[in-house]
Amino acid sequence: MPITKVSVAALKSLDPLSSLSDARLTELADLCRVESVRRGSDPFRLRSTAGQAVYVVRGELALAYEQGRSEVIVGGSPAARRSLGKHRTFASARAVTDVELIRIDDDLLDIMLTWDQVALQEQAAAKQPAERPASGADWGAMSGMFGINNLRFGAFSQLPPAHIDELLRRFERVEAKAGEVIIREGAEGDYYYLVESGRCQVERLVGGVSMLLAELRSGDTFGEEALVAEAKRNATVTMTTDGSLLRLAKQDFNALLREPLLHCINMEQAQQKVLDGAQWIDVRYPSEYQYDRLPGARNIPLSEIRNAFGALAMDEEYIVYCQSGRRSSAAAFLLAQRGYRVFVLEGGLWGGDQAR
């Protein structure tokens, strides 16, 4: 079956997609395709509607129901605005003419609808600050961290639904000027940050010399390592342009993000996962790793974990460990934000010594 890219205009004509923001529809258009079906064929003989919202956007499709009832869905008609799988349980289908369909993953659509509806609530609340606190951020138009791929596979994909509204409520928006230091190396961790607009750079003192570690832009996050590991800031972050940041206080970060994302397992559970194909990742320094690493472990120090994004396979499971569990918790959070299936060895090597 020939497949072509779907247009935003086509998505806007469908329910409940018509309620999505233009930014979301643009993202969705890049993630689904128009499927062409030849006259006389059954588009669902080899690929059913299970787990999908399926729409007829052009042509005529005949549906046969139990008890002999039938219906013809015509692309562009009011009846075609609704998905086939959700509102019609049919026994068979046949293309009366050449037909074009759009298939959308159910989970993908549900995530988009959930976050956009919450975003609309937050924007309305921002206009009425006396009723409830709000960040004032335009969540519906956010890219980067709140883009659909991160909502599906990243940090927020693992959030309990009840946390979404609270999370957006508790983010605070702050304006920052070029040259302003947002966090300073050695300071206590107090906030988790998301770059809404502008750019900043991450630097660390090495041997008395300031080294540039990374440059951050819209959608990037920082500040989580000190919060997760309950340690002092290990780098300085400075704005290189004017911009806006969204920040989340430590107690809110712990309750709404840290706990849902960190999955701790004991040594026995970890060893079983390794037998099933999971990979050990040792996030200590090489000088520590060389003496008492676990069999088969790969060494990626916490300071280098961001460089592993994209290099590690997304379809595998990882178990991270360090000496005590502090550094591995920070590494696991960073990986989980990017959608990796990652677990933390509870208590680290100190806690797992008796199980080995």
At 301, give phi and psi (nearest 5°). -55, 150
- CB atoms inside a 10 Å sphere around CB 336: 24
Q: Does one domain contain both 156 and 214? A: no
Number of domains within the chain: 3
Decide which of 170, 205, 225 is a domain's last residue: 170
Q: Give every residue of the chain whose pLDDT is below 70, as ranges.
A: 1-3, 85-88, 115, 117-147, 149-163, 165, 352-356
Q: Does one domain contain both 21 and 100? A: yes
CATH of the domain at 148: 2.60.120.10
In this prediction, residue 219 carries a pLDDT of 77
pTM: 0.60
Q: Does one domain contain both 3 and 147? A: yes
CATH of the domain at 320: 3.40.250.10
In this prediction, residue 63 carries a pLDDT of 92
In this prediction, residue 125 carries a pLDDT of 53
Q: Does one domain contain both 17 and 41? A: yes
At 185, give phi and psi (nearest 5°). -55, 130
In this prediction, residue 124 carries a pLDDT of 53
Decide which of 170, 186, 220 is a domain's last residue: 170
Decide which of 257, 280, 313 is a domain's last residue: 257
Does the annotation mark 322 as catalytic? yes
In this prediction, residue 184 carries a pLDDT of 95
In this prediction, residue 262 carries a pLDDT of 83
Q: Does one domain contain both 191 and 318? A: no
Q: Is 277 exposed, middle or buried (0-12, 13-18, 19+ CB in 10 A)?
A: exposed
Q: Does one domain contain both 8 and 118? A: yes
185-205 exposure pattern, b = at least 16 Cβ within 10 A, e = fewer: beeebebbbbbbbbbbebbbe
Q: Does one domain contain both 180 and 252? A: yes
Q: Does one domain contain both 164 and 176? A: no
Q: Does one domain contain both 31 and 179? A: no
- CB atoms inside a 10 Å sphere around CB 229: 21
In eight-state DSSP terms, residue 188 is: B
In this prediction, residue 87 carries a pLDDT of 61
At 343, give phi and psi (nearest 5°). -125, 155
> How many CA atoms, within 13 angstroms, populate the side-chain half-sphere of residue 312?
28
| Active-site hit among 32, 200, 264, 322 | 322
Q: Which domain holds residue 209?
A: 172-257
Q: Does one domain contain both 51 and 108? A: yes
Q: Does one domain contain both 42 and 14? A: yes
3-38 exposure pattern, b = at least 16 Cβ within 10 A, e = fewer: eeebebebbeebebbeebbebbbebbbeebbbbbbe
Q: Does one domain contain both 158 and 242? A: no
* Structure token digits, residue 258: 């840290």
Q: Are strands 99-105 and 33-37 parallel, antiparallel or unpaired?
A: antiparallel
In this prediction, residue 3 carries a pLDDT of 56
One-letter identity of residue 233: R
